[in-house]
Amino acid sequence: MRFVLGSHRWGFLGQGDFFSSDQETLRARIEIPPGENWEEISALLPAGGVSLHHCLTFHGSEANISDQVRCSLAVHLRDERAEPILDNENYYVSHLDDMKYSPMIYEV
């Protein structure tokens, strides 16, 4: 995995694409706040490894160039303040009111 250092402190920029695999195009489209730098670091996760990071952290992985299958699982946490955005067809947003797909695990 690759992470952009300090990107979780930039606030919600409304940029990026969770489902895209074209990392170069994504990087070129993201406008970072004035005075900030885009500095990527790599984190090699072993088989079965886990990454926990802030939801605003820009992160991703490059193409799998090995001959081994690579699988991943993403778990997004939220609290009771999260609300669906009307007319948004995003998979995650469209299932916020269904506790089977988007369970609330704690309340603030």
Q: How far is 95 from 108, CA to CA, in rounded Å? A: 21
Mean pLDDT per 10-residue section of the chain, whose length is 108 residues: 91 72 77 92 87 86 84 76 70 72 71
- Quick one: pLDDT at residue 88? 67
- Return the sign of the alpha-carbon dihedral for residues 88, 103, 8, 72: negative
DSSP assignment of 39-102 equals: -EEE--PPTT------TT--EE-----SSS-----------TT--PPTT---HHHHTTT-TTTS
Q: Which residue ranges make up each domain of the chain?
A: 1-68, 76-108
- Quick one: pLDDT at residue 23? 72
Model-level pTM?
A: 0.67
- Nearest of 17, 15, 7 to residue 92 by alpha carbon: 17
